[in-house]
Structure 1
Amino acid sequence: MPEREQDDHEREFDLKWADNAEHKEPSARARMLAARWKENPPEPVPFRGEPDHVARRQRRSSWISTVVVLGCVAGVIVLLGYINFRTY
């Protein structure tokens, strides 16, 4: 067997062996967070929670956006009706 093919075979064997391991060591970040949270656990956070000031601004801007879009649609309808009325 050529050397490169043998290296690939050994690497594949090592990956299978590692994937089938019963105990997998956590990453350094996971170990660091576990140690930190053991003494000082984090407070629960809602899914994709946002700060209050951002949430308020988004609520207000969504209403403003809705009013602007509906106003534009109403304006186009009135304009088309006026143009249609003048052609007859």
Structure 2
Amino acid sequence: MSQQDDDEREFDIRWADQAEHKEPSARARMLAARWKENPPEPQPFRADPEPVAPRRSSWVSTAIVLGSVAAIILLLGYSGFGARY
């Protein structure tokens, strides 16, 4: 075979893009087969996620942290931790 024959057989992307029929991907075929027997339920566009529990205010969280730190300081102070006699 000559070099010219190899060049003619080389894949031409423009020729492939002009094809009238394009085969769907393997995933598309799998989903089509699955949905034929068991179609998915309709979903609204960008459906809302499950409701989330309301968050505490930042002041409540700050009060809990500061209260815990104060309680630890008082506990360590009354226990004599680090006291030198």
TM-score normalised by the chain length of structure 1: 0.46
Q: Which has the higher helix share?
A: 1
Higher Cα radius of gyration: 2
